[in-house]
Structure 1
Amino acid sequence: MIKRILIFLCLISFQINFAQSLVSDNTIVSILTVGTADASHSLYGHTALRIKDDSKNIDLVYNYGMFDFSTPNFMFKFVKGDLQYYAAAYPYDDFEYSYRFENRSIYEQVLNLSNAEKEALINKLDVSLSSDDKYYTYKFIDRNCTTKVIDIVNEVLEGKPIVKKNIDSKTYRDVLFPYVENHFYQKLGINIIFGHRVDDQATIMFLPLDLFENLKTTSYKNKPLVTETNVIFEANRPSAFSFLDSIYSLIVVLLLFVVIKKKAMQMTFFLILGAIGLLFSLIGLYSLHQEVLWNYNVLLFNPLFLLLLYFMATNNEKWIKRLSSVCLVFLGIYMVYMLNKVHLFIVAPIVITAAILLFRLIAPKRFSIGRGRTRPY
């Protein structure tokens, strides 16, 4: 509570100081880029704005990535896509301390702005804290901490010079894929929950490190927009291989479903895939996030597996074979569609396992013979 009061008083003091006198050459405006970390909310880094003026004893960070875990129905709002993020300003020392504590790199790019542009930007920042603009509906690609910083800086610059330059054939999924290189199950989860939207060409600059690289070559009024780049903190994040968090551990688990030819194992496998597929389908109907809509991964994580479980439980061999054949066709369509997708390799073990188990249900005499008689599963 005391900390919040101090921050509030600091903001009031900041606004009064700038109301009394215009900004000067001592006023520094910079974009801060924070590196990645292991937690799901920190996988892609962070962007913020810094306003510093030593002559007025001012050093504040404007952060558009704030959200409140205590928000009622937080998880439902986050999944649905109507969770309100908000802007906040607080002392730079607190900002730096928190990310040093998390062992995340901090980079600063000082912007080459005129005093009039600095003043216009500071006024816009103040308005964004004291009006309805303080809150915004978070969108993973279209509206986040990075895009908000880009938008508010571009508003005070002629011609909106901060734009994505390195546009090529890469999709958003291609761009995101390397960020979870050492976190296999996070990589798997992210790629199967995302649908068709992230396979579009990456034309929006929405990642902090992408903005950081683009700013290096951004010109404004025939001069570099960034006059100085400072490495405030360089994190040492060793990447150690973990078998448990790798594709090899997934393969071992899937091999158990293939090798142990028990009906219970088959049913468990189809229950897991079917339940995940049902969840994806419900999220697609419920959520406003474009990234999770039209999720073709339900062809692999097929909700029809849940219906197949019913026929397996009732030993209805006729419908077991029919539904297994239908699921196998969907699996084939999925594989064809996935041929040019970057996450094909990480889902391939699941696809192969599902295909083997479905073939066993379709032709049990070929795939499951023991003790002189044919077993149905």
Structure 2
Amino acid sequence: MIRYLLIVFSFCFFSAKAQIPTASANTKCSLLTVSAGSQLYSLYGHTGLRFYDKQQGFDFVVNFGYFDFSTPNFYLKFVKGDLKYFVGIDRYEDFYANYVFEQRGIKEQVLNLKSAEIQLIINDLATIVNSDGKFYTYKFFHRNCTTMVADLIAKHSSITPAVINEIKEKSFREIVSEYQSPLYFENLGINIMFGYYTDSKADAVFLPEQLFTAYEIQGQEVVSKTNVLNKTSLVLDVPWWNSVFTLFAILLTLVFVHEFTRRFLFVVLGFLGIFLAAAGLYSDHVEVLWNYNILLFNPLFLYFAFAEKKSVRRKTFQVLAVVSVLVHLIYVLNKPQLLLFAPIYAAVFLLLLLDSNLLTAIKQNRTKGLNHNI
């Protein structure tokens, strides 16, 4: 419902030429940077673009971050990479009240734009919200609420984001993992989905705080004034069970409890590998392509779940499985997901060790040796 209300408001605000706000010397355009929220999709913060003129009596915020949860096949479209986000126009007081209610911080940077540049941006927005251009295909790193705002400003002015140290020094995966780190299972899931591309160095700002910094460090040539509109008071409430120790406990229990639970674990790991392979073929998101996590979540594990214990090929497949996990482990030794995957490494090696009957053979040899000594 919110989607349609926003589109109606946007249409009414910019529906006719006479209703398009006219920028004057008193018109201001500012970047609004909202701090992280408590939901997974809000962990990275949010960016809005505010236009206001007290004399003319308008004050609204352009928001490129709207999506509709009721979209048919929402999650399939998200994984596929063709989920449509859309631009909406909010009244500033509504935008402000919403994030104050969520206890999230709001910082404002008044941009050093000429009235002619502000008018060009407003005119462009009027065209966007009155056409199919209000919908865009979301991309994790290159097309989101932050990049869309930065691109719009750069299109009609000389203001572009500076290259900040974080972009120079860190990969996409390292950057987003820092935001996700309080939530272990969410962080683990996202890192499982991300493939080879996310290990490359970030090539431009793509998160709200990054854009704030990229403008701020350029001084008054870009930002004439910075205001703190609301201080964050949100304390992220992380459940006690959302930790690496919980996963260790679950996996070790499944490994040692019974032969049936070990087979179940092989099935889960194997089907997860098939899912990753399918997502890489199906999705338009470059971030999930060439997902080397298939080496860890190996579809070959399904063989161990269903094949006979005395199968001739079993030892060969055991060696292949061990080698694939070792290759994965070596590759991620210097990557942020190493500790995230630690319980999975432990479980997989124990599964393969028990499946090879190596422990049984060792016990039998010790028993024979003891009987011989007696």
- Alpha-carbon distance, 1:186 to partner: 0.6
Q: Which residue number corresponds to residue 278 of structure 1? A: 274
Structure 2: which amino acid aligns with 1:51? F
Q: Which residue number corresponds to residue 229 of structure 1? A: 226
Q: Which residue number corresponds to residue 30 of structure 1? A: 30
User: Residues 280 and 288 of structure 2 are in contact (CA less than 8 Å); yes or no, is this contact kept in structure 1?
Assistant: yes
- Structure 2: how far apart are the matches of 1:345 and 1:192? 13
Structure 2: which amino acid aligns with 1:63? N
For residues 35-74 of structure 1, the aligned pairs below 5 Å read 35-74=35-74
- Structure 2: how far apart are the matches of 1:316 and 1:157? 71
- Alpha-carbon distance, 1:242 to partner: 4.0
Out of 289, 296, 310, which is 1:293 matched to? Answer: 289
User: Residues 195 and 293 of structure 1 are in contact (CA less than 8 Å); yes or no, is this contact kept in structure 2?
Assistant: yes
Out of 321, 324, 334, which is 1:330 matched to? Answer: 324
- Structure 1 residue runs without a partner (length 5+): none
- Structure 1: how far apart are the matches of 2:98 and 2:18? 27
- Structure 2: how far apart are the matches of 1:303 and 1:87? 41
Q: Which residue number corresponds to residue 333 of structure 2? A: 339
- Structure 2: how far apart are the matches of 1:14 and 1:163? 36
For residues 130-149 of structure 1, the aligned pairs below 5 Å read 130-149=130-149
- Alpha-carbon distance, 1:12 to partner: 4.2
Q: Which residue number corresponds to residue 371 of structure 2? A: none
- Alpha-carbon distance, 1:156 to partner: 1.1
Q: Which residue number corresponds to residue 7 of structure 1? A: 9
- Alpha-carbon distance, 1:142 to partner: 1.1
Which digits, 9 at most, give the CA deviation of each residue in 1:289-333, with x for residues without a partner? 01111111111111111122121xx33343332222211110111
Cα separation, partners in 2 of 1:226 and 1:367, compared to 1, 3 Å: farther
- Alpha-carbon distance, 1:132 to partner: 3.2
- Structure 2: how far apart are the matches of 1:76 and 1:49? 30
User: What is the RMSD of the two structures over their aligned residues, measured on CA atoms?
Assistant: 2.4
- Structure 2 residue runs without a partner (length 5+): 369-374
Tell me, yes or no, if structure 1 residue 119 matches structure 2 residue 113: no
The number of aligned residues is 363
- Alpha-carbon distance, 1:39 to partner: 1.4
Residue 110 of structure 1 aligns to a residue in which SS?
strand
Cα separation, partners in 2 of 1:77 and 1:240, compared to 1, 3 Å: closer
Q: Which residue number corresponds to residue 350 of structure 1? A: 344
Q: Which residue number corresponds to residue 246 of structure 2? A: 249
User: Residues 217 and 224 of structure 1 are in contact (CA less than 8 Å); yes or no, is this contact kept in structure 2?
Assistant: no
- Alpha-carbon distance, 1:259 to partner: 3.6
- Alpha-carbon distance, 1:368 to partner: 7.2
- Structure 1: how far apart are the matches of 2:191 and 2:346? 18
- Structure 2: how far apart are the matches of 1:138 and 1:157? 24
- Alpha-carbon distance, 1:367 to partner: 6.3
User: Residues 81 and 289 of structure 1 are in contact (CA less than 8 Å); yes or no, is this contact kept in structure 2?
Assistant: yes
Residue 56 of structure 1 aligns to a residue in which SS?
coil
When the two structures are superposed, what TM-score results if normalisation uses the length of structure 1?
A: 0.89
Q: Which residue number corresponds to residue 157 of structure 1? A: 157
User: Residues 161 and 205 of structure 2 are in contact (CA less than 8 Å); yes or no, is this contact kept in structure 1?
Assistant: no
User: Residues 36 and 42 of structure 1 are in contact (CA less than 8 Å); yes or no, is this contact kept in structure 2?
Assistant: yes
Q: Which deviates the most, 6-15 or 187-196?
A: 6-15
Q: Which deviates the most, 142-151 or 268-277?
A: 268-277
Tell me, yes or no, if structure 1 residue 316 matches structure 2 residue 305: no
* Superposition misfits of 4+ residues, deviation over 6 angstroms: none
- Structure 1: how far apart are the matches of 2:122 and 2:57? 16
User: Residues 6 and 89 of structure 2 are in contact (CA less than 8 Å); yes or no, is this contact kept in structure 1?
Assistant: no
Q: Which residue number corresponds to residue 84 of structure 1? A: 84
- Alpha-carbon distance, 1:79 to partner: 1.1
